[in-house]
């Protein structure tokens, strides 16, 4: 026990000594600051010490902690800005000092000019470095204090949320709660009656009467005529075009809630000018615009649900179901307003906790029942869709996904659980579940409505119509709206605004990956510079491909190689420039890159091989775009050469993707490499007994007469062989363009057939005489006995017998 006590005392002593050393070091450094900076730092030190005392005592209120956090955050932002200043100048000074070389050791003299310059540079470096050191220390201290305050506030909020209070079902509290409510209403009425009888108020009414009357009339007119005015505005907007897209209907729906809300604001202004409400009434009157906005907002959501189902012929929900859903949505807005009234009632009258529980319990129960009714409407709608479509899922134009459906069901369950929690005394937890659930459902509905509206606008502008709902734009838009909704959802579910601001500040500061700091500003700089470089590269490629290279003598394959090489080089330079402009220091990732290169070497050998082969193809150009090649039995024209593969279009008009490594390491036949000159071979056979010299002369005339055949070298006719059925000849000629080989062969065959018919030359075809050894077996009859010699002779077939002659003739 004594040992443990001595260890604790020693630890406290070490902490005190360390704090004293840090304080002395900070004091010594601050002495080198300017008067203004020193005064600012001293104010910070006093604020930090006060914050440490408050945190240690842990007795301040939530508001006091929030105010203290706000002050510390201001200091932290300043220190964060200062610690990043003069970075370039400090690097320059360090480079200058490094260029002077190391300082001579003891006993060695340094040139006076160099010594003077070294001292001057060191002084400048110290003046710039000291503020950074102090800012780093102060920033770390401020950041730690903010984290401690946030931890204390979160612990208090959690404790308050899980605290159990009086149960509203206890009849002992009902009488006192009713008395408190009646007393508050009587006090409000007495204040209004007292102010009306006041001479000051009467005089003010007399003076401001015309203005009050005008505001009241305008407000009532806006409330009464808002619907007709919005419809007239919609008729005017529809005359501009876009009928049937739903865009103007959405704008009209917004006007239908905006114009009445303006009327409410006029009426509230008239009541404020009358000044008859008193303190309680003034507090309630301040909330009226927000309550009116909530009611109109939920009414707008219900109307959008109705319009969507009406546009689909009430396919998703029947008209009666939509009507029930709209009523439930409107009543949920009323429940939110009643909840705010209960909160104001507690704040103004300072009522007991039991009265607060009793007053809020009916609102909680009613809200939960409305959520349950909405869920039943949704389930009935799904059953109706299943009956119509034969399945449980339907195509939703609003874009509901499975995740949204799961979230909606979870929120309903949370809302239903809230009355049970309130009944047993967990009123804070019940309210923290049911009302955020309602707000979250409303927010999800609004996000879906906005996505459909903006998608309709996109479809109208691009003339895609309803096809825009299945486009990539709709998906990206939904993702962006979900990101925008995240902060609001966090606020609904109890997150503090200070916490969201802290998260955003940390995001803007960036995060460290392998020694590289990545922040949104750096990322945006990288993306912008790379996008500009990529665009310039594509424009340069287009100019080379369409304007410059066609005017040169470079063949199409060489032009394609230049364009492709320019693209790869441009993208590489754009990425390098973007990394440099964004300030990413990749030197710290050298070890990681080395390890990844080993993995790439083993795991991506084929891809790397194809990549290197593609570069070789673009440089050596053994094949070019437009060449006619034959590789691995695949014959066609080269249409595209990339760094990984080559695309060949076959004569069947199909594309074949061939890895570049096959073109480098395998055998490739290129029929048009360098030029399009090629040879055609046309075989033909004539009957035995035909004058071969005559046939040779006819074939030579046919070859020489074709316009695609070159005169030099002259075409040749070859008497190839004595075939089994014919005398075989071949025309061998060199064509101007080998791509026409099939057409030339077809033309020559037509001409050969015509000339041979005129000259009476026969083109034979194979004939065979088949002898059956025992034909009687086919008819089922027994053959008559025959002499052995004759049977043996009849059963033996020779090549001479097959050709119609004796074997001895050969």
CATH number at residue 655: 2.30.30.60
Could you tell me the sign of the dihedral formed by the alpha carbons of 515, 517, 523, 528, in that order? negative
Task: Count the domains in the chain.
Answer: 7
Q: What is the pLDDT of residue 593?
A: 60
| 704: CATH | 3.30.70.100
Are 726 and 743 contacting, i.e. CB atoms less than 8 angstroms apart?
no
Q: Determine the pLDDT at residue 1.
A: 44
Question: Which residue's entry shows tokens 């025992």?
Answer: 774
Structure confidence at residue 697 (pLDDT): 92
Are 475 and 562 within one domain? no
Torsion of CA 308, 313, 314, 319, to 10 degrees: 100
Residue 483 is assigned to a structural domain of this protein: yes
| Domain limits for position 341 | 172-197+277-505
**In which residue ranges of the chain is pLDDT below 70?**
1-35, 106-107, 238-246, 310-316, 378-408, 411, 415, 509-518, 557, 584-604, 767-769, 775-810
Claim to verify: residue 183 and residue 330 sit in the same structural domain: yes
Burial class (CB in 10 A: 0-12, 13-18, 19+), 755: middle
In a domain, 209, yes or no: no
Sequence-distant (6+) residues with CB within 8 A of 786 are: 794
- For 197-218, the DSSP string reads H-HHHHHHHHHHHHHHHHHHHH
Among residues 463, 481, 505, the one where a domain terminates is 505
Q: Which residues of 565-598 are buried (b: 16+ CB within 10 A; e: fewer)?
A: ebbeebeeebeeebbeebebeeeeeeeeeeeeee
576 and 540 both lie in a single domain: yes
Query: Domain for residue 614, yes or no?
Result: no
Distance CA 627, CA 649 (A): 10
Within-domain flag for 138: yes
Q: Based on the domain organization, do 339 and 426 belong to the same domain?
A: yes
Q: Do residues 317 and 436 share a domain?
A: yes
Query: Which pLDDT score, from 0 to 100, does residue 598 have?
Result: 67
207 domain-assigned: no
- Do residues 78 and 118 both lie within one domain? yes
Give strand ranges (E) for 105-256: none
**Where a domain ends, among 505, 527, 558?**
505
| Per-residue exposure over 290-305, b if at least 16 CB sit within 10 Å of its own CB, e if not | ebbbbbbbbbbbbbbb
Question: 684 and 599: one domain?
Answer: no
CA atoms within 13 Å, Cβ hemisphere of 61: 3
Give SS3 for 797. coil
What pLDDT does residue 585 have? 64
Tell whether 687 is covered by a domain: yes
pLDDT per position as a tens digit, 85-94? 777 777 787 7
The β-bridge relationship of strands 511-513 and 516-518 is antiparallel
Q: Is residue 266 assigned to a domain? A: no
Cα–Cα distances (Å) from 171 to 168, 418, 557, in that order, read 8, 20, 93
Residues 744, 722, single domain; the answer is yes
Alpha-carbon span 19 to 255, nearest angstrom? 63
Q: Is the dihedral of CA 642, 644, 648, 653 positive or negative?
A: negative
325, 304 contact by CB (below 8 A)? no
In a domain, 247, yes or no: no
The reply to whether 443 and 531 lie within a common domain is no
The pLDDT value recorded for residue 732 is: 93
CB 601 within 8 A of CB 608: yes
How do the residues of the chain divide into helix, strand and coil, expressed in percent and rounded to 5?
70, 5, 20
Length of the chain in residues, anyone? Answer: 810
pLDDT of residue 14: 40
For residue 107, the model assigns a pLDDT of 64
Sheet strand arrangement including 678-686: 678-686, 727-735, 716-722
Its pTM stands at 0.65
285 and 404 inside one domain:
yes
Residues 408 and 521 in one domain: no
pLDDT for res 453: 84
Do 346 and 408 have their domain in common? Answer: yes
């Amino acid at each position: 026990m004594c040992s443990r006590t001595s260890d604790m005392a020693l630890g406290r002593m070490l902490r005190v000594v360390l704090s004293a050393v840090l304080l002395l070091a900070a004091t010594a450094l601050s002495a080198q600051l300017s008067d203004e900076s020193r005064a600012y730092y001293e104010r910070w030190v006093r604020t930090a010490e006060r914050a440490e005392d408050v945190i240690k005592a842990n007795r301040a209120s939530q508001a006091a902690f929030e105010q203290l956090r706000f002050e510390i955050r201001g200091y932290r932002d300043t220190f964060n800005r200062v610690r990043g200043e003069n970075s370039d100048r400090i690097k320059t000074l360090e480079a200058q000092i490094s260029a002077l070389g190391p300082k001579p050791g003891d006993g060695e003299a340094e040139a006076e000019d160099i010594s003077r310059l070294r001292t001057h540079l060191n002084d400048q470096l110290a003046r710039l470095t000291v503020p950074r050191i102090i800012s780093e220390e102060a920033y770390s201290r401020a950041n730690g204090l903010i984290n401690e305050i946030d931890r204390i506030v979160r612990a208090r909020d959690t404790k308050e949320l899980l605290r159990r209070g009086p149960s509203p079902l206890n009849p002992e509290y009902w009488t006192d709660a009713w008395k408190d409510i009646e007393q508050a209403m009587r006090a409000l009425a007495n204040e209004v009656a007292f102010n009306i009888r006041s001479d000051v108020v009467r005089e003010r009414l007399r003076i401001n009467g015309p203005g009050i009357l005008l505001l009241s009339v305008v407000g009532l007119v806006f409330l009464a005529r808002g619907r007709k005015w919005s419809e007239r505005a919609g008729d005017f907007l529809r005359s501009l075009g876009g009928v049937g897209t739903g865009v103007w209907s959405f704008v009209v729906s917004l006007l239908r809630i905006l114009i009445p809300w303006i009327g409410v604001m006029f009426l509230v202004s008239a009541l404020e000018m009358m000044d008859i409400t008193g303190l309680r009434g003034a507090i309630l009157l301040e909330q009226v615009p927000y309550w009116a906005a909530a009611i109109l907002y939920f009414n707008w959501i219900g109307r959008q649900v109705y319009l969507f189902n009406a546009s689909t012929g009430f396919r998703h929900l029947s008209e009666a179901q939509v009507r029930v859903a709209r009523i439930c949505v409107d009543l949920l807005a009323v429940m939110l307003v009643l909840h705010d009234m209960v909160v104001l009632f507690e704040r103004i009258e300072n009522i007991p906790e039991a009265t607060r529980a009793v007053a809020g319990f009916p609102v909680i129960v009613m809200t939960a029942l409305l959520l349950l009714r909405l869920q039943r409407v949704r389930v009935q709608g799904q059953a109706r869709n299943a009956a119509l479509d034969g399945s449980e899922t339907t195509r939703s134009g609003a874009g509901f996904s499975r995740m949204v459906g799961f979230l909606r069901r979870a929120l309903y369950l949370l809302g239903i659980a809230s009355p049970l929690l309130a009944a047993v005394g967990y009123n804070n937890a019940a309210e923290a579940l049911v009302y955020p659930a309602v707000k979250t459902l409303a927010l999800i509905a609004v996000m879906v409505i906005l996505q459909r509206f903006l998608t309709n606008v996109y479809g109208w502008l691009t003339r895609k119509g309803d096809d825009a709902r299945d486009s990539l734009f709709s998906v990206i838009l939904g993702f962006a709206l979900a990101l925008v909704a995240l902060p609001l959802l966090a606020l609904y579910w109890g997150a503090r605004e200070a916490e969201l601001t802290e998260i955003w500040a940390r995001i803007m500061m960036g995060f460290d990956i392998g020694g590289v700091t990545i922040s949104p500003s750096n990322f945006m700089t990288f993306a912008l510079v790379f996008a500009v470089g990529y665009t310039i590269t594509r424009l340069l490629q287009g100019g080379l491909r369409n304007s410059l290279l066609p005017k040169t003598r470079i063949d199409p394959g060489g032009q394609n190689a230049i364009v492709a090489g320019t693209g790869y080089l441009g993208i590489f330079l754009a990425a390098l420039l973007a990394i440099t402009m964004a300030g990413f220091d990749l030197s710290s990732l050298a070890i990681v890159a080395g390890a990844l290169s080993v993995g790439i070497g083993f795991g991506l050998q084929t891809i790397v091989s194809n990549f290197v082969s593609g570069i070789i193809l673009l440089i050596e150009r053994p094949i070019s775009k437009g060449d006619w090649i034959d590789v691995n039995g695949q014959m066609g024209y080269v249409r595209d050469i990339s760094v990984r593969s080559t695309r060949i279009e076959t004569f069947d008009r199909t594309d074949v993707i061939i890895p570049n490594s096959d073109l480098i390491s395998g055998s490739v036949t290129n029929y048009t490499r360098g030029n399009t000159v090629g040879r055609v071979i046309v075989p033909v056979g004539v009957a035995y007994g035909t004058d071969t010299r005559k046939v040779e002369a006819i074939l030579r005339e046919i070859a020489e007469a074709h316009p695609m055949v070159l005169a030099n070298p002259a075409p040749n006719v070859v008497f190839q062989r004595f075939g089994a059925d014919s005398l075989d000849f071949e025309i061998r000629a060199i064509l101007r363009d080998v791509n026409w080989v099939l057409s030339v062969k077809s033309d020559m065959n037509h001409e050969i057939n015509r000339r041979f018919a005129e000259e009476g030359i026969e083109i034979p075809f194979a004939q065979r005489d088949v002898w059956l050894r025992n034909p009687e077996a086919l008819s089922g009859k027994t053959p008559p006995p025959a002499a052995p010699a004759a049977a043996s002779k009849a059963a033996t077939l020779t090549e001479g017998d097959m050709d119609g002659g004796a074997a001895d003739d050969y």
